[in-house]
Structures are given as structure tokens and as C-alpha cells.
Amino acid sequence: MSHGYDVSIRNQMLDRITARAGNAALLRFFDGVQPATGGAITTQVKLAEGVCGTPFAPAAALAVLTLNAITFGNALASGIGTWFRVVQSDGTTFVYDAPISDMNLNQTVFTAGQPVTLTSYTITEGNP
């Protein structure tokens, strides 16, 4: 049987992501196969990197975390984005990985030197 949580508990779970990410976390898009959670990036190419807001997100509401603006420059490499990783501003401390399909991105095909824009990104903590 699945667990079902009150919305206040789900908000707290989401707010832990904001606490872990901290200020100016980095969101990185990669090609290839997503490694095991937090695993080493070996053959995957980093296609783009954005700097997340300070704070990462306001408090979650109704079990939804809506990230503050993420600033991207141009794509670093060409390829098809399949997953992304968020790390703290130190560039190494793992926060989370997810498939690129989890966000509203204006592109999944990246071309080196071309602008990258993320229109919005929310994380929903739903009950099964």
C-alpha cells in the first residue's frame, strides 16, 4: 500500500530541496544516459549550465515548488539533452537528478553557442 501525505508534509519535503540547493545552485543539462542518482558523469556531455536564483525557490505551496529564475547563457556543446543535475554553488555537492522531460524547456536539442532559455520549472510532490 502506498503512503499518502498531508499537503503540509509534502510542502516541507519540497522545501528541503530549496534548503539543500542553497543560493545560486547550478542546473546542468546533459546528453546520454542518466547515471544512478548522484553517480559519476563519465561519457555524458554537459550541454548547458544555468545559475539558479537566490533563494532557489520560495516556500512550496499546495505541494508545488516553483523555482525562481534561472540564468543561462549559451549552450556549451551541441547534442540532445536527456537529463539534468542540480548541484550546489560549489559545483560539486549533489542535490538531485531528473529527466529533462520534467521541465518546460524551450528546447531539448542544444547547439553550441546558441542561447538557452528555461521558461518555467516546478516540482510537484504528489501522493500516489
Q: Note whether residue 1 is domain-resident.
A: no
Q: Note whether residue 87 is domain-resident.
A: yes
For residue 28, with 0-12 CB atoms within 10 Å meaning exposed, 13-18 middle and 19 or more buried, which class applies?
Answer: buried
| pTM of the entire predicted model | 0.92
pLDDT tens-digit map of 48-88: 999 999 999 999 999 999 999 999 999 999 999 999 999 99
Q: Note whether residue 22 is domain-resident.
A: yes
Q: Note whether residue 35 is domain-resident.
A: yes
Q: Note whether residue 21 is domain-resident.
A: yes
Domain total for the chain? 1
What range does the domain containing 35 cover? 7-124
